[in-house]
Amino acid sequence: MRTYRSHADYLNKALKDPKEAARYLNAAMEENDSSLILVALAQVAQAHGISRTAKRASMSRAGLYKSLSKNGNPEFKTFMSVLSASGLQMSFKPA
């Protein structure tokens, strides 16, 4: 019998690729929903490893978990640090 991997496993593997992570975050941004963007950012951070991402973002692991939690409200600096730690950067384009 063929074994299948879960969606979470697929997503974790896919989001390790910076191009795929950028497409994923851009899709979340297009929805214009801050909670969806936060969930997407948390999934990217998890794909890269929370401990590793926290260390690269100069944060504690617990602090990163709290910032990216469902009720979290990360500061812009934290948001940018997590992007950078994941090998991503934000850019803007006209609407």
Whose tokens are 């979290």? That residue is: 72
pLDDT of residue 38: 94
Predicted confidence at residue 93, as pLDDT, reads 81
pLDDT digits (tens, 9 = 90+) for 10-31: 999 999 999 999 999 999 999 9
Question: Which pLDDT does position 70 carry in this prediction?
Answer: 87
| Weakly modelled stretches of the chain, pLDDT under 70 | none
Between CA 39 and CA 35 the distance in angstroms is 6
- Cα distances from 49 to residues 4, 36, 42, 43, 86, in angstroms, run 23, 20, 10, 10, 9
Give the model's pLDDT for residue 5. 84
pLDDT at 76: 93
Check residue 4 and give its pLDDT. 84
In single-letter form, the type of residue at position 32 comes to N
87 Rama sector, left if φ>0, alpha if ψ -120 to 50, beta otherwise: left
